[in-house]
């Protein structure tokens, strides 16, 4: 059975007609062609499918579109604004925090939610915030370092400096 | 000139060239692909561990609306295949019988995944269950139940026995002889990305397969055989791989099924595995039982070693023959071992087949050896670090089993971790419940022999420059997250004197790129690296020849740097790189130059000598500090110091990432990971139940890079992707003994085992937990080969295709 939904995804209203039992993850990937959000386990155990719902991390494989009506969905595609990378994305790229990259969208969004709530987290606080995101490549070390670097930069600069212009960034 | 000034790119901590796509979610993995009219596939798999297939009826499934095709094994050519030529025992789809729960039987292509799944459930299969053999003991006890009709004995896939020198005499003359038994449970790769493939059999009757694979070349070869189609009409493209670790190195049923279904339906077909399926596809770490008998001199030197391993191989061969030899090959490259005997056997069981996982057959024996050395150190009253440090193998010599070792930075690695960790002080002063352990290891930098015997390059590159000033590097090498695409760009940029951003890398496409064998045995940086350096140097020579004529200077006076080509002594006299290419293209025509690499031919001239040789070996030493809770048995590693001899860190950021990732994976294996079965079925096929470390279980890792500038490696580089995993496991186990006096001879070291050891201690018994029995299997008589121990290395940096 299908139903019509309107979701606000990355600041854009998206209207769709989808089967009611499809998860938000499936809708994002299959109906909205937003394939940046990945699946890892189908059971909500790995954090790979993390998106933000009204700024809070949520496992999109356990969320139904009907629950998202009237709420803001943020995916990895919405993290850079007008081509300007979020400081977290910049730091992750600079410090080698992405190896295969598959877990990274979920981790970036979770980290973004952390820094929005706690702009100066300790390493332990970063660990705890990311404890629900599995990574098999990095051993987490450079991920933690990149979150700390991004936090420092966001504290140091104002909003404009914190978002990094594309051309200077990618030497 | 300092190292920093000498290189413009090498040695710099640069971002990877694909980092930007990865942090914005733009990298298109296989399951992110959609093609017009694409169908979705699902595989019906066996619910039985061992059964004959009596009858398959797909009528009901085929009639479900939305189903495009349903096939069985009878729709494919009756061809068996396997990644190794010596064990071609797999069918893409089982025809006569199934040998494991999860064996692929019948795929469905349908309008969507859900319909395909429903249709798969409607396929009727009649099985005649056979006795399932779920352990080595089971399989050996029931020779009348044959899992395969081939092998070195009933249910024995392979049994080997090699002897180098007089081991008995060496043991007889030793001051101390230790005999120990160890067990290492199997575990799996657990990549975050599930396997996925998209096949498109086009209207021109040519096939394209995109797949999350570590080896498009081997898949390409085997597809031609399995589908009975000329390889020239097949194109295999490796999609970006979301984690491999050896789990995506075989050709798989879902890849073959997708191809066949595409041919039958005229549509592209995508098949993505569920997480549960990934556990069953497996090809992971073999469970290995090991027995070692080693002779030690008073100062801890090893006089001789006799090593036996029994591998539980699962239902198919996969890389298992190589795995078997690997359990006996690398013991000799770290410490001097003058005489060595190895016996190994791989037994078939009705479980998912084991294959290559990071370290491939060497983590298990390394764990056993490093723990035995620790026990011997205790008996001899020696410091475990000193004992190892004093008895290292000699650089540029051969081992007893004819492996040539070149640079060995292990001494410096030991010194650095001993210093950084405060080893000596902590050994003396840590309170009960806290302990510190050390271990060392080594790993090869690329297998010296290809999987199929041939005299062709192991890696090939074409470098193309055009008048835009852009340079394209085409190479079959497969980036699985380790950064091989970036290495190609860095090395080409270094040689040509331009920026990595000026380089376009096209990789892993059998239509476009020269063959590279694949991402396994840590071969890519070295082999593809040497190939791209060769190609870039040849290209540079052509460009310089043209610039030399223009500048009226000898080509030997020119240098390429900072996107210019100029006279070294008179930098003003020069041209921009794009202008240099125009000059080159005007003189020579199209500038497209190949580079080829094949490793030195050093295999020992004995059967089995092809497994183990490598151009060079990396070395690692690590110290781990742990806290053991005596109430719960929980082991918590609190800090890791690890020094890795990488030859040269082409990009320190990437090398550190490999070291940290290897440490993490080693910790997972020693503490919590296990691929275990009950009643034929995987006990824990989910990411929650199969434990792997989160951020909370991963301690602080101090990485120290040691550089020995190996003559075999590109700018001296050796491997980093697998070696650092190996010493972590024994270091943790040795640390546990230091903490609470318990010897755990079994991996993983779960809390219940620690508590059992503590209980034994309380009862006044030896506080050792581990295997008590060995299987009843007679190894073949050993092939006796003269020990090559101590002979000088030959043919350093001499290899095919080098001129």
Say yes or no for a CB contact (<8 Å) between B275 and A41.
yes
Sheet order of strands, B269-272 included: B67-70, B104-110, B39-45, B269-272, B196-201, B207-211, B234-238
Of B25, B244, B660, the CB nearest to A36: B25
Task: Compute and round to an integer the Cα radius of gyration of chain A.
Answer: 16
Q: Which long-range contacts (CB under 8 A, 24 or more apart) does B634-639 make?
A: B634/B751, B634/B754, B635/B671, B635/B732, B635/B736, B635/B749, B635/B751, B635/B754, B636/B699, B637/B667, B637/B671, B637/B699, B637/B732, B637/B735, B638/B434, B638/B699, B638/B700, B639/B421, B639/B699, B639/B700, B639/B702
Q: Are B531 and B457 in contact (CB under 8 A)?
A: yes
CA distance B220 to B227: 11
Strand spans (E) along B74-142: 97-98, 104-110, 124-129
Q: Are B210 and B38 in contact (CB under 8 A)?
A: no
Of B189, B656, B687, the CB nearest to A46: B687
Q: Are B250 and B518 in contact (CB under 8 A)?
A: no
Q: Are B47 and B277 in contact (CB under 8 A)?
A: no
Of A76, A100, A132, the CB nearest to B25: A76
CA distance B720 to B608: 25
* Residue B576, both tokens: 């921009």
SS in 3 state form for A121-158? CCHHHHHHHCCCCCCCCCCCHHHHHHHHHHHHHHHHCC
- When pLDDT is cut at 50, 70 and 90, the band that residue A83 belongs to is confident
Max CA pair span of chain B: 88
Say yes or no for a CB contact (<8 Å) between B665 and A105.
no
Helix A87-94 / helix A141-156 crossing angle, nearest 10 deg:
140
CA distance A37 to A57: 13
Quote the pLDDT of residue B4. Answer: 61
CA distance B793 to B392: 16
Strand spans (E) along B417-501: 434-444, 459-465, 471-475
Q: Tell me the chain A residues in contact with residue B113 when contact means C-beta distances shorter than 8 Å.
A: none
CA distance B777 to B157: 12
- When pLDDT is cut at 50, 70 and 90, the band that residue A160 belongs to is very low
Q: Are B353 and B386 in contact (CB under 8 A)?
A: no
Say yes or no for a CB contact (<8 Å) between B687 and A134.
yes
Quote the pLDDT of residue B5. Answer: 77
Buried b / exposed e over A72-93, threshold 16 CB at 10 Å, is: ebbbbbbbbeeebbbbbbbbbb
Q: Tell me the chain A residues in contact with residue B198 when contact means C-beta distances shorter than 8 Å.
A: none
Closest Cα in chain A, distance from residue B711 (Å): 28
User: Counting beta carbons within 10 angstroms of the beta carbon of residue B803, is it exposed (0 to 12), middle (13 to 18) or buried (19 or more)?
Assistant: exposed
Q: Are B693 and B673 in contact (CB under 8 A)?
A: no
Residue A157 pLDDT > 90: no
Residue B220: alpha-carbon gap to chain centroid: 20
Strand spans (E) along A20-120: 50-53, 56-59, 72-74
Q: Tell me the chain A residues in contact with residue B501 when contact means C-beta distances shorter than 8 Å.
A: 170-171
CA distance B768 to B754: 9
Write the pLDDT tens digit of every residue in B526-578.
999 999 999 999 999 999 999 999 999 999 999 999 999 999 999 999 999 99
Q: Tell me the chain B residues in contact with residue A77 when contact means C-beta distances shorter than 8 Å.
A: 24-25
Best of A1, A44, A141 to substitute, by most chain B Cβ atoms within 10 angstroms, is A141
CA distance A82 to A85: 8
Quote the pLDDT of residue B75. Answer: 97
Write the pLDDT tens digit of every residue in B163-209.
999 999 999 999 999 999 999 999 999 999 999 999 999 999 999 99
Quote the pLDDT of residue A159. Answer: 47
Residue A162 pLDDT > 60: no
Quote the pLDDT of residue A165. Answer: 42
Write the pLDDT tens digit of every residue in B33-44.
999 999 999 999
Task: Answer whether 0.90 is exceeded by the pTM.
Answer: yes
Cβ count within 10 A of residue B461: 32
| ipTM passes above 0.90 | yes
Residue B383's SS3 state is coil
Residue A46 pLDDT > 90: yes
Mean pLDDT across A5-12: 95
Of A36, A45, A127, the CB nearest to B687: A45
Best of B23, B653, B685, B700 to substitute, by most chain A Cβ atoms within 10 angstroms, is B23
Buried b / exposed e over B748-773, threshold 16 CB at 10 Å, is: bbbbebbbbbbebeeeeeebbbbeee
The region that residue B462 occupies, defined by phi over 0 for left and psi between -120 and 50 for alpha, beta otherwise, is beta
**How do strand B207-211 and strand B196-201 relate by DSSP bridges?**
antiparallel
Phi, psi of B725 (to 5 degrees): -75, -35
Say yes or no for a CB contact (<8 Å) between A127 and B24.
no
Phi, psi of B384 (to 5 degrees): -60, -30
User: Counting beta carbons within 10 angstroms of the beta carbon of residue A148, is it exposed (0 to 12), middle (13 to 18) or buried (19 or more)?
Assistant: middle
Mean pLDDT across B289-307: 98
CA distance B214 to B113: 25
**How do strand B176-184 and strand B234-238 relate by DSSP bridges?**
unpaired
User: Counting beta carbons within 10 angstroms of the beta carbon of residue A17, is it exposed (0 to 12), middle (13 to 18) or buried (19 or more)?
Assistant: exposed
CA distance B5 to A164: 29
CA distance B135 to B140: 9
Q: Are B802 and B598 in contact (CB under 8 A)?
A: no
* Residue B366, both tokens: 């390394």
Closest Cα in chain B, distance from residue A37 (Å): 7
CA distance B453 to B648: 30
Write the pLDDT tens digit of every residue in B121-166.
999 999 999 999 999 999 999 999 999 999 999 999 999 999 999 9
The total number of residues shown for chain A amounts to: 171
Q: Tell me the chain A residues in contact with residue B241 when contact means C-beta distances shorter than 8 Å.
A: 100
Which residues are registered as beta bridge partners of B574? B566
DSSP string, B242-253: S--TTTT-S--H
Write the pLDDT tens digit of every residue in B492-515.
999 999 999 999 999 999 999 999
Q: Are B20 and A170 in contact (CB under 8 A)?
A: yes
Q: Are B267 and B38 in contact (CB under 8 A)?
A: yes
Residue B132's SS3 state is coil
**Residue A120 per-residue DSSP state:** S
**Using CA of residue B38, residue B104, residue B78, residue B317, what is the dihedral sign?**
positive
Using CA atoms, how far residue B249 sits from B324, B372, B498, B654, in Å, is 17, 32, 34, 22
A1 compared with A148, residue with greater pLDDT: A148
SS in 3 state form for B549-561? HHHCCCHHHEEEE
* Residue B109, both tokens: 């292509």
Residue B27 pLDDT > 50: yes
Say yes or no for a CB contact (<8 Å) between B656 and A139.
no
Say yes or no for a CB contact (<8 Å) between B242 and A35.
no
Quote the pLDDT of residue B1. Answer: 60
* Residue B551, both tokens: 């500048």
Q: Are B58 and B44 in contact (CB under 8 A)?
A: no
**Using CA of residue B201, residue B202, residue B206, residue B212, what is the dihedral sign?**
negative
- When pLDDT is cut at 50, 70 and 90, the band that residue B803 belongs to is confident
Best of B18, B192, B242, B485 to substitute, by most chain A Cβ atoms within 10 angstroms, is B192
Q: Tell me the chain A residues in contact with residue B665 when contact means C-beta distances shorter than 8 Å.
A: 136, 139
Q: Are B439 and B370 in contact (CB under 8 A)?
A: yes
Q: Are B286 and B364 in contact (CB under 8 A)?
A: yes
Best of A21, A96, A121, A166 to substitute, by most chain B Cβ atoms within 10 angstroms, is A96
**How do strand B768-769 and strand B743-744 relate by DSSP bridges?**
parallel
Q: Tell me the chain A residues in contact with residue B358 when contact means C-beta distances shorter than 8 Å.
A: none
Quote the pLDDT of residue A169. Answer: 40
Quote the pLDDT of residue B3. Answer: 61
Q: Tell me the chain B residues in contact with residue A103 when contact means C-beta distances shorter than 8 Å.
A: 192
Mean pLDDT across B325-346: 98
**Using CA of residue B478, residue B103, residue B255, residue B155, what is the dihedral sign?**
positive
């Amino acid at each position: 059975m299908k139903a019509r939904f309107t979701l606000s995804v990355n600041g854009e209203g998206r209207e769709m007609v989808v089967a009611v039992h499809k998860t938000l993850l499936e809708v994002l990937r299959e109906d909205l062609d937003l394939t940046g959000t990945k699946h890892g386990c189908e059971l909500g155990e790995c954090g790979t499918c993390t998106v933000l719902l009204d700024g809070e991390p949520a496992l999109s494989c356990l969320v139904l579109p009907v629950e998202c009506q009237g709420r803001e969905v943020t995916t990895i595609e919405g993290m850079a604004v007008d081509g300007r990378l979020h400081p977290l994305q910049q730091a992750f790229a600079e410090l080698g925090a992405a190896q295969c990259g598959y877990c990274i969208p979920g981790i970036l969004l979770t980290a973004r939610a952390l820094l929005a709530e706690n702009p100066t987290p300790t390493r332990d606080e970063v660990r705890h915030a990311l404890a629900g995101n599995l990574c098999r490549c990095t051993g987490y070390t450079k991920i933690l370092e990149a979150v700390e670097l991004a936090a420092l930069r966001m504290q140091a600069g104002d909003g404009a400096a914190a978002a990094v212009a594309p051309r200077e960034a990618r030497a | 000139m300092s190292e920093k000034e000498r290189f413009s790119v090498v040695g710099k901590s640069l971002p990877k060239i694909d980092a930007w796509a990865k942090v914005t979610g733009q990298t298109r993995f296989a399951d992110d692909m959609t093609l017009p009219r694409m169908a979705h596939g699902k595989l019906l798999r066996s619910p039985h561990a061992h059964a004959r297939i009596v009858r398959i009826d797909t009528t009901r499934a085929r009639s479900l609306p939305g189903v495009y095709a349903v096939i069985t094994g009878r729709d494919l050519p009756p061809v068996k295949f396997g990644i190794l030529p010596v064990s071609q025992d797999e069918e893409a789809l089982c025809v006569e019988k199934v040998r494991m729960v999860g064996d692929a039987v019948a795929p469905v292509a349908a309008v969507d995944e859900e319909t395909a799944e429903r249709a798969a459930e409607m396929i009727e299969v009649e099985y005649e269950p056979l006795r399932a053999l779920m352990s080595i003991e089971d399989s050996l006890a029931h020779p009348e139940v044959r899992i395969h009709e081939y092998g070195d004995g009933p249910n024995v896939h392979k049994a080997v026995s090699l002897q180098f020198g007089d081991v008995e005499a060496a043991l007889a003359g030793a001051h101390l002889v230790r005999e120990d038994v160890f067990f290492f449970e199997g575990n799996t790769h657990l990549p975050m990305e599930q396997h996925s493939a998209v096949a498109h059999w086009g209207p021109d009757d040519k096939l394209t397969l995109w797949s999350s694979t570590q080896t498009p070349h081997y898949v390409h070869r085997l597809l031609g055989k399995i589908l009975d189609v000329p390889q020239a009409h097949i194109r295999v493209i490796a999609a970006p791989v979301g984690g491999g670790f050896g789990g995506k190195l075989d050709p798989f049923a879902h890849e073959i099924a997708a191809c066949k279904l595409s041919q039958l339906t005229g549509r592209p077909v995508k098949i993505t595995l569920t997480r549960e399926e990934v556990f069953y596809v497996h090809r992971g770490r073999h469970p290995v039982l090991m027995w070692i008998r080693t002779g030690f001199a008073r100062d801890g030197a090893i006089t001789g070693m006799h090593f036996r391993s029994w591998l539980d191989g699962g239902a198919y061969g996969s890389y298992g023959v190589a795995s078997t030899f690997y359990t006996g090959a690398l013991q000799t490259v770290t410490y001097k071992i003058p005489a060595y005997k190895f016996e190994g056997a791989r037994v078939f069981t009705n479980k998912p087949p084991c294959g290559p996982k990071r370290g491939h057959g060497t983590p298990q024996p390394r764990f056993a050896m490093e723990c035995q050395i620790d026990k011997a150190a205790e008996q001899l009253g020696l410091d475990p670090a000193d004992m190892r440090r004093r008895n290292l193998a000699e650089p540029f010599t051969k081992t007893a089993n004819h492996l040539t070792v070149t640079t060995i930075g292990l001494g410096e690695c030991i010194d650095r971790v001993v210093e950084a960790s405060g080893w000596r002080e902590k050994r003396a002063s840590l309170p009960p419940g806290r302990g510190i352990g050390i271990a060392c290891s080594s790993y090869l930098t690329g297998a010296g022999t290809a999987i199929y015997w041939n005299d062709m390059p192991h890696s090939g590159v074409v470098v193309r420059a055009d008048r835009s000033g852009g340079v394209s590097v085409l190479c079959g090498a497969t980036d699985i997250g380790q950064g091989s695409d970036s290495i190609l760009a860095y090395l080409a940029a270094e040689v040509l004197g331009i920026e990595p951003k000026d380089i376009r890398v096209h990789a892993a496409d059998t239509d476009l790129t020269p063959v590279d064998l694949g991402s396994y045995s840590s071969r890519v940086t070295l082999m593809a690296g040497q190939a791209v350096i060769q190609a870039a140097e040849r290209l540079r020579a052509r460009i310089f020849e043209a610039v030399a004529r223009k500048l009226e200077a000898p080509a030997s006076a020119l240098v390429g740097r900072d996107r210019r080509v100029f006279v070294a002594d008179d930098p003003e006299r020069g041209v921009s790189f794009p202008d240099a290419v125009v000059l080159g293209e005007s003189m020579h025509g199209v500038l497209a130059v190949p580079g080829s690499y094949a490793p030195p031919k050093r295999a020992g001239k004995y059967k089995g000598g092809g497994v183990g040789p490598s151009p060079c070996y990396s070395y690692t030493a690590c110290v781990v500090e742990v806290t053991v809770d005596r109430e719960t048995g929980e082991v918590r590693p609190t800090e890791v110091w690890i020094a890795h001899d990488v030859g040269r860190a082409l990009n320190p950021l990437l090398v550190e990432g490999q070291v940290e990732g290897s440490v993490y994976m080693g910790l997972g294996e020693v503490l919590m990971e296990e691929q275990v079965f009950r009643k034929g079925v995987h006990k824990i096929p989910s990411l929650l139940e199969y434990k792997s470390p989160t951020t909370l279980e991963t301690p602080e890792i101090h990485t120290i890079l040691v550089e020995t500038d190996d003559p075999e490696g590109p700018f001296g580089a050796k491997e980093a992707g697998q070696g650092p995993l190996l010493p972590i496991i024994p270091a943790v186990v040795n640390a546990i003994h230091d903490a609470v006096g318990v010897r755990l001879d079994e991996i993983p070291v779960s809390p219940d085992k620690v508590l059992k050891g503590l209980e034994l201690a309380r009862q006044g018994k030896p506080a050792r937990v581990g295997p008590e029995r060995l299987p009843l299997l007679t190894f073949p008589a050993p092939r006796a080969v003269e020990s090559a121990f101590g002979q000088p290395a030959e043919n350093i940096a001499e290899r095919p295709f080098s001129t």
